[in-house]
A and B are shown apart, each in its own frame.
Chain A
């Protein structure tokens, strides 16, 4: 039997977002048989990484696999000047640069409220 990468499978389920993915669609994507697929998904359910929701699909009862945690979103950080700022280690309440007075952050805020 081929080696199963649970991490990869979990990433596919996570990428499906809040609505999750039908287990039959997941098995097709990972090219697994229903027996293999069930074994994998049950392991992920027992580990608390995903949950299963019973669903009637095309007249048959199946399960929808929903991730307990969503994949990290980087888009919300991308435009912020603080993200991976080279001065991050020097920035803090008692440090040389403070979030209260940071000019990069001020320019960013001014630009965003003008738009």
Chain B
């Protein structure tokens, strides 16, 4: 399918690769379908989560395990159910990246990672109960 995006112009995405977020993402409840772009590039920490339903909506996402040592995600039973997880190896975890004008303030949300069942193409942003995980984790301070 030809997908019109604000960020990349018109791109060609295989509809079978769309990831369905039944509840959307808080703040963008009406956008249910996304495409992961650039995730197959092995050496990249950052890549894109482009909305199919809202062309102007594109997130930069990152692999939290490469950013925060010892990061762990608790997956609640209800999320296992709603994401139809049968094989944990088929689940990828992403963190949304916020990029303010000042690049030193680039931060990620470790409190609410995005889980994607790549097998079933289902996604959800889950809120972690772990109180020590910050909503704003600044990358520049981590080094």
- A and B physically associate: no
Q: Which residues of A contact B (CB under 8 A)?
A: none
